[in-house]
Amino acid sequence: IPLYRRAARDGHPLAQVRLGVVEMRSGQGAMDAASAVNFLGRAALRGYAPAMYRLGRHYAEGLGVRRDLAAAQSWHFKAARLG
């Protein structure tokens, strides 16, 4: 995990997504969901399609963010356009 954290801080999208998944699976509740959204959002803004898809799911389900179906749809469309 420390190497993923360092890589995520350095802006590597795959590391950011992996940390987001780890945060969600840690089972600590809303705080971890918000942390996951933070990591996923950073990777999504770098144009990483898997992060866009996962971020869209978080918006659709209200995990770590307020439920926002328009934002979910937007992130899913962006991910789909990238393949």
Instruction: With a cut of 90, say whether residue 70 has pLDDT above it.
Output: yes
How large is the angle between the packed helices 49-61 and 69-82, nearest 10 degrees?
160
pTM: 0.82
Instruction: With a cut of 60, say whether residue 63 has pLDDT above it.
Output: yes
Per-residue pLDDT, 66: 96
Please give the torsion angle defined by the CA atoms of residues 60, 43, 3 and 25, in that order, rounded to the nearest 10 degrees. 0
The confidence band for 30, taking pLDDT boundaries of 50, 70 and 90, is low
> Averaged over 66-77, what is the pLDDT?
98
CA atoms of 47 and 61, how far apart (whole Å)? 22
Q: What is the CA radius of gyration of the chain?
A: 12
* Better-predicted residue by pLDDT, 47 or 18: 47
Instruction: With a cut of 90, say whether residue 45 has pLDDT above it.
Output: yes
The confidence band for 29, taking pLDDT boundaries of 50, 70 and 90, is low
